[in-house]
Amino acid sequence: MPTRTGAQIIFECLVQEGVHTIFGYPGGAILPAYDAMLDYPIRHILVRHEQGATHMADGFARAGGGVGVAMATSGPGATNMVTGIATAQMDSSPIVCITGQVPGKLIGYDAFQETDITGITLPITKHSYLVTRAEDIMPAMKEAFHLAKSGRPGPVLVDITKDAQQAKIDWAWDPRPAQMRGYRPDYPITSEDLARAAELIRSSKRPVILAGQGVIQSGATRELLALAERIDAPIAMTLLGLGGVPASHPLNLGMMGMHGEAWVNHAIQEADLLLAFGMRFDDRVTGNVKTYAPHARKIHVDIDPSEINKNVRADAAIVGDLRETLVDLLEVLEAADHEAWLAHIDRMKGDAAVRDIQRLPDTGHLYAAHVINDIWRITGGNAVVVTDVGQHQMWEAQYYHHERPRSLITSGGLGTMGFAVPAALGAKIARPEAEVWAIVGDGGFQMTQAELATAAQEGIKINIAIINNGYLGMVRQWQEFFYERRYAATPLRNPDFVKIAEAHGLEAHRVDTRSQVNEIVERARAAEGTTLIDFRVEQEDSVYPMVPAGADLHAMIRRPERSVLAETGADPI
């Protein structure tokens, strides 16, 4: 049996788990691992901030469907990962974070760069490990990967003391699967649960399917479409579910919720049955839960039993893998016809066309919605788009029409500004053949703009579209609507983003009018390396519709009608 150091065992385990790329930043407590890394076939992406490492691992996991890996040292290196870990936890993204820790005999004595990172991260991980012996590294690593990717995916942290990394033991890889007593990632689907759900579906006259990220994570697109077509039910999408059903499919209504399409929210409020598939009834989806879908019975299918009845009470619940559940439902459900209901929803679109900013004439103003819709048109809808958080995130969801799973990567649950650029770099590593766009706000971009150096050093090609309106846009919108335009701490004095990109040796452009968009976007696509485009858009633009926080889902603030705007000469936003 060969002798290995604990540091070597870390990388032996990573190789066995199929890892070929990790994202990290070295430091004293993790140096033994970094030294060992040189002898293994694993690419290391040197980030400029540990938060960037976790977002890159997250983007890698979401784009490629595997497990992302991030590595950092103890103390500030580990605590800098916390935001990225929480982001992954809220959005069920499978990542494994490996951190160094001070030697075991110094734990609890406030040693240099000592932090109880397992204690800090317990609430925001599926599990956190503190490993103090080389013998325990392999079991912890095997369990970490098993936990991260099984059941409801999520982040796992493995904190390994420096002396455990340095210790030598006789060691061999154990190929047996990880066995964890008490951990039940898979739940059997009972015939009683299926029968109850099937009966509710048969008796429904106004069904609506709510499709969440679980559709993507379970690989259930084909089965969901087959079910929707069989029972003739429209599909409403959550933000993280976009791409799980092709945007062009006639049964796809579009996005629901706070900034969802008006007719989608009205359809939910008028439905007599909601079929919630792989979604968790987030508050941004439901609005006021007391008035949410008041006439509808609810079927909830989710792999995580803790989500059942947590936010919205279910009349029928199935805990299990969504794809398997849909296969079972297809076996017992017959065809249905809801032509009248679908026609009613179509009529509810009403004046949406005259309210759509895409139909406004080009008056020389550059609107974010125009920019994003043009990027969709120019890329043929085939790009992987990674967004930051804010107004641009919602405009992307509305105006970039996703046809395939894993083509939209965004921070939904935690709403993490600074997510997009590092996550886009991770996505490009996972899918090097894909065209990757990071669509960011001018505020969020500045939080992780240091990762431009990572893109330059590692030769990673992404395109960055900054929707630059000189404000923290979504916060400004709330201040406009609910705080009498008292713009406290939202105006931004931005640097010259073009010069910043050029300082890193990257190509960069500035766009002020819509007539420039086509040419500059095509130049970015043709460039060999990462390219940044600074889109100077209208400053006081707003996202419509909008459901005020805590309001009824149907109580939406709508965009003014185009005819009214034309008559008054008012600004269309």
Query: Active-site positions?
Result: 50, 112-113, 162, 474
> Strand, helix or coil at 441?
strand
| CA atoms within a 13 Å half-sphere pointing along the CA-CB vector of 545 | 26
Q: What angle do CA 10, 16, 19 make, to 5 degrees?
A: 80
Confirm if 60 and 34 have CB atoms less than 8 A apart: no
SS3 content of the chain, % helix, strand, coil (to 5): 40, 15, 40
**Cα separation of 447 and 500, whole Å?**
14
**Cα separation of 439 and 400, whole Å?**
11
Residue 268: burial class (beta carbons within 10 Å; 0-12, 13-18, 19+): buried
Confirm if 381 and 403 have CB atoms less than 8 A apart: yes
In the structure encoding, which two tokens stand for residue 475, read together?
Answer: 């916060």
**Cα separation of 297 and 214, whole Å?**
21
Token pair 């805590």 in the structure block, residue: 550
**Cα separation of 9 and 4, whole Å?**
6
**Cα separation of 434 and 382, whole Å?**
8
**b/e burial code for range 236-254 (CB count within 10 A of at least 16 → b):** bbbbbbbbbbbbeeebbbb
Confirm if 210 and 238 have CB atoms less than 8 A apart: yes
Angle between helices 50-64 and 420-430 (to 10 degrees): 50
DSSP state of 66: S
> Strand, helix or coil at 225?
helix
Confirm if 116 and 444 have CB atoms less than 8 A apart: no
Angle between helices 50-64 and 82-90 (to 10 degrees): 20
In the structure encoding, which two tokens stand for residue 394, read together?
Answer: 């919602």
Strands (E), 91-153: 95-101, 127-131
> How does DSSP assign 34-51, residue by residue?
HHHHTTSS-EEEE-SSHH
Q: What angle do CA 133, 136, 141 make, to 5 degrees?
A: 130
In the structure encoding, which two tokens stand for residue 428, read together?
Answer: 């490009």
